[in-house]
Structure formats: C-alpha cells, structure tokens
C-alpha cells in the first residue's frame, strides 16, 4: 500500500487497527513527509480529548528526546498550561492513568515527574517505516511543502520560494584559506538542504575579484611575473607573485599603521611608493582602462578555471560566478544617492562614511563607503549587490555563509539597507557564520589552495589503506576510493561540531577508520551496500517481499530490541532534516548519522541476513531493514555533500570505463549470441585507426536493421564497394568547404527563427525540451541544403519533417528490449504511414526539380543534394527529348539518399548544439572566453551578427576558441560511434603486439571510450577547450586518431563541414543574447521520477539513444536573456 497519499496511509494504519489520521483544524503537520508526525497527530488528538486542551498546543509541546532510551517523544506537561489547580507532576500522573491501556501505535506510557515519555508500538514501526523509506527512496527526509510560497505578495511569481546562497567566495589570485574551506563545505550543505526541501536555490560564488589588492597584484606582476611560469602553473605563480609583492609592501603598511596609531595623518605616506602604484592601477580599473581590465580579466579567468575543477572534486557546482566587479555602476550611484537623501552619508577625513553610532546602532562604529582616492569599498559594493540581486532574482531569502570574523561587517550591511529605507530587504538576509580552523597551515605546511588540502587528505588516506595489503588488493580502483574517502574525511571533520566552534585540523585523526570520521561513515555505507550482493538479492526482491509480507519483521521487532531501536532511529531522519533547516547546522545531520551507524553496528551479529534462522522470508525481511538503513545513510551523506563509495559497478558502466585501464589498449569481446555475431569493442585510438583507416573495413549487415526503417534500403551509409564509391563521388561536391561556406546565409535564415523561438521561451519563462526545439531547427537547415527549399518546420507543420521525427521516436527507444514495445502491434502501421509521407513529399520535390531541369538545364549549377542526384542521373540519360517522368528506380534510389541526409544531417548536429550550451553553462570561464571572442569578431552589438555573417561568412574562420569548444563538446559527448564488419585475413594488433582476428565479428569503435581513454587523453573527463589550441609539444595536445566524432578514413562523415558551420552560427547568434540552462531538478520533480535519479558518471544530461545519442529526457531547460551580473565578453 502507498504511504504517499492520505488514503493509502490510512489503509495501512487500518491494518494495524488504528482509526484514520485525525483531522485537526489549525495543525501544520506533515504526516506524508515525516512518519513521526503520524504519531504526533494521534497523540495530540488523544491528549486533547483526555484533558480538554487544544490539540495544536499538544502537538507543539511534544519534544524529541536526545536518546531513544528516554522515549520516542516526550510531553512536558507544564507546557500545556492546565488550569485545574493541580501540581504538574500530579497532572502528568493523571494523564498516564487516563491514557488508553492498548493502542495500535503506542505502548502504555509511564510518567517520570512532570514528563510523560511516549514509546511507539514496535509493530507499527515495522509496518510504517520501511514502506515509507522504500516508496520515497532519495526523497525520504525531504518535505516539499516547505519550498512552496504561501504568501501571494511575495516577490517572485512562481510557486516555489527562491533562496540565494553565497558561499566559498575566494579571492582572485590569493590563498584559499581555511575560512574559504569552511564556507565551501557549509555552504554546499545549506544549498543541498534547501534543494531537498524544494526551494529554488541559486548558488553564487561571489569572488573577491575587485579592490586595491588587485592593484597590488598587478604591480607585482609587472615586477615579478613570468609568462613561462604562468603557463606552467598558472594559479600557483600568481600566488607567488602576490606573496612577493606583499612582502615588499609590508614596510610601507607598517609605517602607515604607526602613523595612524600615533594620531598622525597617513596621507603623505600613502601617496607614494607601492601605495601610490597600487592605488593608481586600481583607479585605472575603476575608470575602465582597457589594458588594466584586460590583465584583470586574464587573472580572473585563470582563477575561475582552477576553482571550477577543484569544486568538481567536491561535487559542488555554482549557478553564477559573480564578484565585486560585476556590481552595476548605476546601482552603486543609486545607493550613494539614497545615503545622501536619508542623511546617512558623512564626510570623514576626505572619505565618505556612515557613522552608525549616530543612527542608533551601538557597536557598529564608523565605516568608510568611498575612500579618499575616490575608489569604492566592500560595503558600498555589497549593498549595491543586494539591490542588483533583488532585481535579477526576486529572492525570498539570501544567505551569506561567511566566518564569524565578518559578523560586524554583515551587521553593517544589513543596517545600511535599513538606513536607506530597505528594511524589508534586510529582513530577508541571513548571515550563517562559523568559527576558525586551527593549525591548518602548520599541519599541512605551505598549503595555499583547496586542491592542495584535498590532495594531502587523499594521499594520507591512501597510505592508511595500503597498510592492510589484503584488503587493498581487493579494491577495484584504490585511487578513486582514496579520493572519495579522503574528501569525506576533510568534510566530516569540518562538520562534526557546531558551526560557531573552532576546531583543530588533524589529518591523522580525520583519515582514521576508527571513531566518528568520514572514512568510518564510508565504511558503514559500503558494508550495508554489500549485504544484498552477499545474499544474492536485489532491491526488487525486497520491494516484492514488503508488498506481499508487510508483517515480515514482526517476529524480530517483538523479540529483538536491536531491530526496534534501529527502526526508531530510521523514523527520525525527516525530523532531523527539518531541524537542520531551522538551525542550518550540518552537525545536526552528521550526529544523527553516527547514531545510526552505532546502532547498526550492534545489529549485525543479532540480525544476520545470510544464514538467518527462519529461512528466506526472514532473510528478505532483514535485508529490507538494512537496505532501508542504507538508504537513510545515503540520503544523509548526500545532504552533507558526501559521495557514498559504491561497492560494485554495473556491467555496462564497467564496459564504458574499461578503456581507462592500460589493458584496454586491447580488445573487448562481447558474445551477442543469439541476437548477433560476436562484437569486438575498440576503445583505443591505435585500434580505431587500424579499423577505419588502415584496413578500411566494410559496413556490416547489422546496420541495416537500424537504418532501413529510417531511410530505406541501399542507402549511402550502409553501402559497400563500387556502389558506395560512385554514390559518394556524386555527392562530394555538395559538401566541399567552399560551397558549404556559401550556404551560411541559408543557415542564418533558419538560425534567426531558432533565436526567435528561444526568445519566446525566455519571455514566457517556461520549461521546455531544448533537444526537441533544436531538432526542428537543424531539420530546417538540412532541408534547405538537401532540397534547396525551406521546410519551416520550426513554425508550422511540415509533412516531411514531422514524419521523419515521428519515425525516429517509434524506431529507436532505450527500452527496445522490452517485448511489449518491440512487438507493439501499432508500430508497423505507424512506420508504414511515416514512410509513405516522407516518400510522397520527396517524390513531389523530385518531380518539381525534374520539370525545372527539362525547362532549363542551367539549374544544374545548384549543388543541393536533390540537384546533385538529378545531375548524376541525367548524365546517364542520352535520349532527347527528356522522358515526361523520372525513372521509377532512380526516384526510389534518390528518395532513400535524401532521407539519409535529412536524418543524419539534423540528428547529430542538434545533439551537439545542446551539449555545447550545457558545457558552457557549467563552465563560466570558458563561456567568458567564448563571449569575448564573439565580441572581438562581431562587435559589441549582438543584433548585427546575422547581417555580418550573411555579408562576410569568412568571419566564422576567425573563431578558434569557439571551434575548440565545439570540438571538446564532440569529444565528451560524441553523437554516434562507428561500426565495421570483420574480414577474413584481417587482424587488429594492440600495443603489446597481440593480434585479434576480425573474421566473423562486428567491430564497434566506441567513440565515447576512445575519446576519453585516459592513456591518451590527459584529464579525459574534463572540459578543456584549450587542448585544441596548443601545439604538439604540450601534454594536452590531442592524440593521433583519438578524436573521431566524424570518423576518419575514406568513409568519414560527408557532412562534417556543414555540421561545424551550423554549430558555429548557432553559438554566434545565441550565446551573447540568451542564457540556456538545464533544469533537470525541476523536470525530475514535475515528472515524479521514482527512486534514485539516474546519472552516468555523475552527469544527469547523459546520452540516450534516440536516433543518435541525445541528452537524457530531451534536455529540459529554461532560457533567459543574458542580464547584467553575468559573465560578459
């Protein structure tokens, strides 16, 4: 029975003998999200009836004890404020006596003084808690109601509340200190927590990228900077430059401080030396000096690139990399005007300041807002940033995760907003503070970067693992395990105590598997994860058993207190997350998880699964108990930002990952009997070159089953031999680089429609499938190139485009092996109808072109696919006059080829466009570089781009970084792979000289594996467009034969030049105007994704087969106009 509806929950409770959940007016309970709330509601109703008080007061008075030994809930009777003249202890005893002797959900309570401890019925726990967890899975612990906006006057227009969380916030080219580490860990937790409660969360990394310290760095670069060192170790070199110039600056700073302490004017000291050089450079930045801003932008990009890669190790992503530099100048001026209007601005020693003491704010002192040199201060920019964010995001709440050292500063920020008349806005801001990390630098030496902290923790953990040689040898990927567990060690140590407390950084303790540490938590999850595997059970087995045997645990809960206590703790988890949402303390969740693991440790010997007495039913019931506990532990770990280490790898994922090992320079053999011939899977560039270039092996018959229903028999893709050579030669001229460049105006025509469609979605603010919209767009492009006419399928129904798109949906499905889908009786009829529609449309176009040809053979100058096909046919016709109708056999052949070009020409290009947007969205530094390149080539006004491309298509050749982005997108997300057939006498030879005969096999050149093969590609999973811009001497330089999205050799993709042109034009016309962002979280929520949301290698936009490889679920997205505060070119 379902616990996700009140009806289902009441039906389950009725099996226990309980009445339906009482309906109590004015009670804000959540029985569908928090199982303990079921008990609270019943208790509120029982107690209210017994003593005549208000049920909501009873509900609010119930407390959760710190230990289950003191009850599951406790009622402090004095909180009920009973007016019967009796002492609270007597009132409590009377309530105990009046409580029902027998109730399906409760044991009879026993008063202890003024408290009434209440214990849940063991049978009710076993019947309620496990269904609750199994039916919610990763959603267990979430309360989606908390994210709903109930106030119709709230600032935003959607139904979900919006919270901005600003955290981490390192300074450009400065040391990533312990405060940034704590802010990163705690901020990620707060973000995860609000997301789990269905808030619309915007995560901002507000970089310290502006101010006089950058002027000092610029001066240091002029003195100590080295281009060679910057290329070798970019961020470390900038840190070294800053350290050296800071050391040189220190004597001047000390002289200024002495003068200030002695009451002397510091103006003369600060008007010369490094003070003057620093201030002058920063003044140039604020005045918009191009050279100064270029250097600033370069260093900012270097820092962001490094930060993005490091945050990825922590599974942290940001929606926006903003900074002090992004605050609008006009907003700063508006804040100053408001300060003047409200009489708050005060001139002080040549500066402008706020004297908070004069405005009733004791303890806030005086704060400078604009310095004597005219430069702005943090306070002024941060207040302006609040106003900018309000205008941009219309947030309900904004949280700053910053150390206690900034308590005074944030009190000043909030008070300043009140003084300028924005108390309403100040009330929506919260400073979540935290204490210090003690002895970080002394423990880790000269650590300067977050990546250094993580590396040393990982290495220390690796050493711990190596001490147990037997277990170490059993770990499939010790490096990956050491990385995940090492990061858990750092994060758990940080979150173990209250935020406000300082703690010592102790690398030896935190990497121990003993005690309450991150490694111990990972060990506990791995142990739970192994139980099903050792028992030979699956999760489906447990779900089936729970539905058929809801009483499966009854015997254990009635006889074994360990089982009861574990269920009691598991029931508490949603209450724990609700408490954490109120106090924003990660330790609340972490403390609970350690309590859970301690209880589990006491259960393993008492509640055995394998070899359980009582047979399979008992084994299944106990396995379900442990799987429920594992799910709770996983949910809590993910909420804290920890990635649970899995104990096994699915077979298909293992296949895709196999190329990462050195041995996978060889061949993977797959026995496909009885469905197909044996398969040889190629994962290395060396073997791919042999397959497709040196031996040029033929296309195998297995491809006919895929292509024939889509395009027809005897198509160019599946042909072999002389027939393929003749056909390929016929169409080659239609895809020459020069001719394709001439088609730019046609592509721009369709791109303008595409941009208009995206603008409409931006104005509506709706969620839509980017893949679907983009497929219609690329269909229109290839339609123009193939048929020399506009299909206009983006705006209206086109029979050809519609039939092709529908044929793809019916033909290729991820669940093709599902027999109900495979043998759907409607499928042949739908495919027949689609074929008929496509063939009729193309036949009509052929007839029109033939009629034109007969009238004027000069039309042969066109090189569209339809004209090239006609030209080739007419060259073989010598009869005059021309026949009245085209030859039927030729029409069938031409129709098949045109369908092939329409399918291949739109399908893979649309996917690539989607992934370019996706990768640029998640890599702000790359986006900034691309935007800068477009501005440099096309000018500052994006609206002029279409006319520039029409008049001068060669501008597309001036986009090296854009080309690199496209190539890197195609490397990470190739739209297809290559399939070839083996040949007698041909063998593939690996790097060790082993020969693999190919006769009787199909050979699958797996592009996703070849292009991420760690032996040949440094950082194979990282998005690094720079690898396409370096020379052969650089380690990043692509390996020979390693990049194959269009394949190599005689049978490479004929349309690759057109595909690259399409994507370049699209990016040039879209990205500077529109911001395309995936919204998978929202899509999963709306579509009720059950259980664990699927990802592949952590990627939610993983590739699925829909024709070619496309983003999962159609790439749900929202589009907005690129506004101020975004990274700009």
Is 1.10.630.10 the CATH number for 714-974+1045-1121? yes
Q: Give φ, ψ of 202 to 5 degrees.
A: -115, 115
Q: What is the pLDDT of residues 996-1045, one digit of tens each?
A: 999 989 999 999 999 999 889 988 989 999 999 999 998 899 999 999 99
In tens, the pLDDT along 612-639 reads 777 788 888 899 999 999 999 999 999 9
With a cut of 50, say whether residue 261 has pLDDT above it.
yes
In angstroms, the CA 346 to CA 318 distance is 38
Q: How far apart are CA 1012 and CA 1038, in angstroms?
A: 11
- Beta-carbon contacts of 150 under 8 Å, excluding residues fewer than 6 positions away, are none
What digits encode the pLDDT tens for the residues 430-452? 999 999 887 654 334 444 456 67
Query: With b meaning 16 or more CB within 10 Å and e meaning fewer, what string describes 752-775?
Result: ebbbebbeebbeeeeebbbbebbb
Strands 768-769 and 1116-1121: antiparallel
Between residues 310 and 848, which one has the greater pLDDT?
848
Whole-number Å distance between alpha carbons of 699 and 978:
9
- pLDDT given at position 808: 85
Most distant CA atoms of the chain, gap in Å: 119
Specify the pLDDT at position 473.
Answer: 57
Over the stretch 1053-1088, which tens digit does the pLDDT of each residue have? 999 999 999 999 999 999 999 999 999 888 887 766
Q: What percent of the chain has pLDDT over 70?
A: 90
Pairing between β-strand 667-670 and β-strand 679-682 as defined by DSSP bridges: antiparallel
What mean pLDDT do residues 596-602 have? Answer: 92
pLDDT digits (tens, 9 = 90+) for 918-977: 999 999 999 999 999 999 999 999 999 999 999 999 999 999 999 999 999 999 999 999
pLDDT, tens only, 836-857: 999 999 999 999 988 888 777 6
Q: What is the pLDDT of residue 430?
A: 98
Tokens coding 764: 């509506």
Q: Are 378 and 385 in contact (CB under 8 A)?
A: no
Q: Of the candidates 845, 911, 898, which has an alpha carbon nearest to the alpha carbon of residue 710?
A: 898
> Who has greater pLDDT, 97 or 734?
97
Block residue for tokens 């949906």:
809
Pick the CATH number of 6-120 from 3.40.50.2300, 3.40.50.300, 3.30.1360.70, 3.90.1150.10: 3.30.1360.70
Measured in whole angstroms, the distance separating CA 68 from the mean position of its chain's CA atoms is 38
Domain boundaries, the chain: 6-120, 450-648, 649-713+975-1044, 714-974+1045-1121
As given in the structure block, the two tokens for residue 820 are 């109900």
Highest mean pLDDT among 92-101, 229-238, 822-831, 883-892 belongs to: 92-101
Residue 1127 above 50 pLDDT?
Answer: no
pLDDT average, residue stretch 46-57 = 93
Minimum mean pLDDT range among 33-42, 556-565, 898-907, 1050-1059: 556-565
Structure tokens at 1093: 């949301």
692 contacts 685 by C-beta, under 8 angstroms: no
pLDDT band at residue 1090, thresholds of 50, 70 and 90?
very low
Concatenating the DSSP letter of every residue in 1078-1097 gives E-HHHHHHHTT--SSPP-BT
| Residues 1023-1038: b if buried by 16+ CB within 10 A, e if exposed | bbbebbeeeeeeeeeb
Burial class, 7, CB count within 10 angstroms (exposed 0-12 / middle 13-18 / buried 19+): exposed
Q: What is the mean pLDDT of the chain?
A: 86
Model pTM score = 0.60
* Domain topology for 450-648: Isoleucyl-tRNA Synthetase; Domain 1 (1.10.730)
Whether residue 505 has pLDDT greater than 90: no
pLDDT tens, residue by residue, 646-682 = 654 433 343 444 444 434 576 888 765 555 678 899 9
> The tokens of 166 are what?
């600003």
H/E segment holding residue 728:
helix 721-732
Could you give the CA distance from residue 875 to residue 852 in angstroms, rounded to a whole number? 16
Residue 994: the pLDDT is 85
**pLDDT for residue 447:** 43
- Positions annotated as catalytic residues are 174, 177, 180
Confidence class of residue 272 from pLDDT cuts 50, 70 and 90?
A: very high
Q: Is the pLDDT of residue 1095 over 90?
A: no
Cα 464–Cα 466–Cα 467 angle in degrees, nearest 5: 70
Q: CA-CA distances (angstroms) from residue 47 to 10, 22, 35, 77, 99?
A: 21, 12, 19, 10, 8
DSSP track, 857-910: GGGGG--SHHHHHHHHHHTT---SSPPSS--HHHHHHHHHHHHHHHHHHHHHHH
637: enclosing H helix or E strand: helix 616-640
The pLDDT of 571-592, averaged and rounded, is 96
- Taking the alpha carbons at both ends of the chain, their separation in whole angstroms is 56
Supply the pLDDT for residue 125. Answer: 92
Among candidates 524, 121, 486, 76, which has minimal Cα distance to 313?
A: 486
Contacts of 660 (CB under 8 A, 6+ apart): 1012, 1013, 1014, 1020
The CA–CA distances, whole Å, from 556 to 422, 567, 607, 625, 632 equal 60, 11, 8, 11, 20
Structure tokens belonging to residue 351: 């500066």
Task: Mean pLDDT check: name the lowest of 34-38, 84-88, 576-580.
Answer: 84-88
Work out the number of other CB atoms within 10 angstroms of the CB of residue 1104. 17
- Angle subtended by helix axes 616-640 and 518-535, to nearest 10: 150
Q: Which of 169-178, 717-726, 831-840, 1084-1093 has the lowest mean pLDDT?
A: 1084-1093
CA dist 557 → 130, 631, 971 (Å): 13, 20, 55
**374: part of which helix (H) or strand (E)?**
none
Q: Is the pLDDT confidence value at 740 over 60?
A: yes
Residue range 346-402, pLDDT digits in tens: 888 888 999 999 999 999 999 999 988 788 888 999 999 999 999 999 999 999 999
Supply the pLDDT for residue 871.
84
Q: How far is CA 995 from CA 454, 669, 986, in A?
A: 43, 13, 9
The pLDDT, as a whole number, for residue 668 is 83
Q: Which one has a higher pLDDT value, 334 or 52?
A: 334
pLDDT band at 305 (very low <50, low <70, confident <90, very high): confident
CA distances from 882 to 693, 877, 879 (A): 42, 8, 6
Q: What is the mean pLDDT of residues 538-566?
A: 83
pLDDT value, residue 303: 79
Query: Is 1090 or 171 the better-scoring residue by pLDDT?
Result: 171
Helix, strand, coil fractions of the chain, as percent rounded to 5: 60, 10, 35
CA atoms within 13 A on the CB side of 355: 8
Who contacts 490 (Cβ-Cβ below 8 Å, separation ≥6)?
181, 185, 453, 454, 457, 510, 518
Q: Which residue has the tokens 């060192």?
A: 229
Confidence of residue 1125 (pLDDT cuts 50, 70, 90): very low
Give the three-state DSSP class for 765: coil
Pull the structure tokens for residue 743.
């088609």
| Contact (CB, 8 A) for 1067 and 963 | no
């Amino acid at each position: 029975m379902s616990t996700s509806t009140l009806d289902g929950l009441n039906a389950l409770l009725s099996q226990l003998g309980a009445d339906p959940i009482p309906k109590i007016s004015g009670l804000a309970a959540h029985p569908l999200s928090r199982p303990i709330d079921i008990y609270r509601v019943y208790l509120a109703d029982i107690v209210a009836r017994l003593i005549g008080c208000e049920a909501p007061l009873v509900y609010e008075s119930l407390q959760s004890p710190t230990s289950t030994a003191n009850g599951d809930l406790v009622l402090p009777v004095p909180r009920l404020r009973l007016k019967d003249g009796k002492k609270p202890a007597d009132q409590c005893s009377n309530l105990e006596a009046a409580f029902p002797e027998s109730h399906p959900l409760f044991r009879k309570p026993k008063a202890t003084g003024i408290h009434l401890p209440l214990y849940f019925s063991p049978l009710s726990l076993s019947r309620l808690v496990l269904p609750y967890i199994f039916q919610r899975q990763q959603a267990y612990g979430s309360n989606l109601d908390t994210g709903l906006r109930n106030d119709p006057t709230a600032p935003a227009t959607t139904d979900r509340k919006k919270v901005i969380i600003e955290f981490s916030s390192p300074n450009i080219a400065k040391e990533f200190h312990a405060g940034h580490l704590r802010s990163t860990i705690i901020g990620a937790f707060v973000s995860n927590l609000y997301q789990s409660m269905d808030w619309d969360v915007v995560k901002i990394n507000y970089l310290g990228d502006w101010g006089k310290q950058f002027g000092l760095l610029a001066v240091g670069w002029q003195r100590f900077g080295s281009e060679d060192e910057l290329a070798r170790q970019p961020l470390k070199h900038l840190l070294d430059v800053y350290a050296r110039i800071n050391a040189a600056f220190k004597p001047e700073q000390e002289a200024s401080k002495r003068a200030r302490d002695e009451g002397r004017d510091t103006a003369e000291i600060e008007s010369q030396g490094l003070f003057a050089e620093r201030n002058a450079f920063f003044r140039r930045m604020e005045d918009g000096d191009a050279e100064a801003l270029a250097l600033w932008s370069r260093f900012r990009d270097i820092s962001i690139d490094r930060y993005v890669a490091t945050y990825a190790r922590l599974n942290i992503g940001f929606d926006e990399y903003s900074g002090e530099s992004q605050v609008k100048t006009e907003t700063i001026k508006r804040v100053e005007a408001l300060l003047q209007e409200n009489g708050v601005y005060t001139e002080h020693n040549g500066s402008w300041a706020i004297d908070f003491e004069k405005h009733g704010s004791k303890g806030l002192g005086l704060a400078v807002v604009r310095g004597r040199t005219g430069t702005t201060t943090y306070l002024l920019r941060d207040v302006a940033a609040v106003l900018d964010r309000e205008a941009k995001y219309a947030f309900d709440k904004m949280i700053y995760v910053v150390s206690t050292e900034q308590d005074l500063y944030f009190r000043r920020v909030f008070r300043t907003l009140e003084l300028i008349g924005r108390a309403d806005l100040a009330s929506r801001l919260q400073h979540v503070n935290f204490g210090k990390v003690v002895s970080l630098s002394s423990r880790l030496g000269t650590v300067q970067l977050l990546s250094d902290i993580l590396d040393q923790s990982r290495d220390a953990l690796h050493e711990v693992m190596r001490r147990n040689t037997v277990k170490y040898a059993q770990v499939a990927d010790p490096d990956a395990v050491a990385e995940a567990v090492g990061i858990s060690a750092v994060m758990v140590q940080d979150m173990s105590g209250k935020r406000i407390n300082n703690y010592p950084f102790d690398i030896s303790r935190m990497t121990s598997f003993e005690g309450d540490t991150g490694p111990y938590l990972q060990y506990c999850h791995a142990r739970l994860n192994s139980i099903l595997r050792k028992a030979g059970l699956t999760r489906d087995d447990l779900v089936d058993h729970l539905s058929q045997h809801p009483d499966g645990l009854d015997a254990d809960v009635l006889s074994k207190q360990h089982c009861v206590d574990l269920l009691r703790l598991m029931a508490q988890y949603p209450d724990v997350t609700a408490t954490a949402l109120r106090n924003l303390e990660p330790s609340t969740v972490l403390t609970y998880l350690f309590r859970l693991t301690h209880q589990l440790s006491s259960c393993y010997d008492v509640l055995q699964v394998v070899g359980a007495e009582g047979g399979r039913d008992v084994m299944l019931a106990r396995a379900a108990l442990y799987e429920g506990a594992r799910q709770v532990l996983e949910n809590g770990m993910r909420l804290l930002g920890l990635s649970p280490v899995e104990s096994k790898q699915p077979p298909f994922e293992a296949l895709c990952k196999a190329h990462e090992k050195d041995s996978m320079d060889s061949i993977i053999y797959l026995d496909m009997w009885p469905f197909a011939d044996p398969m040889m899977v190629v994962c290395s560039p060396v073997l791919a070159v042999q397959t497709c270039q040196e031996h040029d092996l033929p296309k195998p018959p297995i491809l006919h089953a895929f292509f024939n229903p889509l395009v027809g028999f005897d198509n160019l893709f599946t042909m072999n031999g002389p027939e393929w050579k003749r056909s390929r030669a016929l169409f080659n001229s239609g895809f020459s680089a020069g001719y394709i460049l001439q088609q730019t105006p046609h592509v721009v025509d369709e791109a303008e429609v595409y941009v208009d469609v995206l603008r409409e979605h931006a104005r509506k603010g709706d969620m839509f499938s980017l893949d679907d919209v983009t497929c219609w767009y690329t269909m229109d492009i290839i339609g123009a190139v193939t048929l020399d006419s506009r299909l206009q399928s983006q705006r209206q129904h086109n029979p050809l485009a519609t039939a092709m798109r529908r044929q793809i949906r019916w033909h290729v499905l991820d669940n093709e092996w599902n027999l109900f889908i495979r043998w759907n009786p409607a499928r042949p009829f739908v495919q027949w109808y689609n074929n008929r529609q496509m063939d009729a449309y193309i036949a009509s176009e052929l007839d029109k072109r033939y009629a034109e040809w007969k009238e004027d053979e000069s039309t042969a100058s066109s090189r569209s696919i339809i004209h090239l096909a006609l030209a080739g046919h007419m060259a073989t016709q010598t009869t005059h006059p021309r026949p009245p109708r085209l030859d039927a056999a030729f029409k069938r052949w031409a129709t098949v080829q045109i369908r092939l070009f329409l399918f291949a020409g739109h399908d893979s290009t649309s996917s690539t466009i989607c992934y370019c947007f996706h990768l640029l969205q998640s890599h702000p530094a790359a986006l900034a570089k691309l935007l800068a390149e477009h501005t440099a080539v096309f000018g500052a006004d994006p609206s002029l781009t279409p006319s520039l491309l029409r008049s001068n298509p060669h501008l597309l050749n001036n986009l090296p970084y854009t080309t690199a982005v496209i190539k890197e997108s195609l490397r990470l997300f190739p739209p297809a792979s290559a399939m070839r057939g083996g040949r007698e006498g041909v063998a593939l030879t690996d790097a060790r000289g082993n020969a693999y005969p190919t006769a009787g096999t199909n050979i699958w050149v797996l592009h996703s594996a070849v292009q991420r093969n760690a032996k040949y590609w440094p950082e194979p999973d990282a998005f690094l467009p720079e690898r396409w811009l370096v020379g052969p001497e650089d380690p990043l330089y692509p390996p020979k034969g390693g990049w194959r999205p269009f394949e190599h050799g005689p049978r490479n993709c004929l349309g690759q030049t057109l595909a690259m042109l399409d994507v370049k034009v699209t990016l040039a016309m879209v990205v500077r105007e529109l911001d395309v962002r995936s919204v998978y979280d929202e899509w999963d929520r709306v579509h009720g994704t059950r259980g664990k949301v699927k990802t592949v290698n952590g990627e939610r936009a993983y590739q699925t087969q829909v024709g070619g490889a496309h983003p999962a679920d159609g790439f749900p997205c929202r589009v907005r106009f690129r506004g101020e505060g975004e990274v700009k070119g």
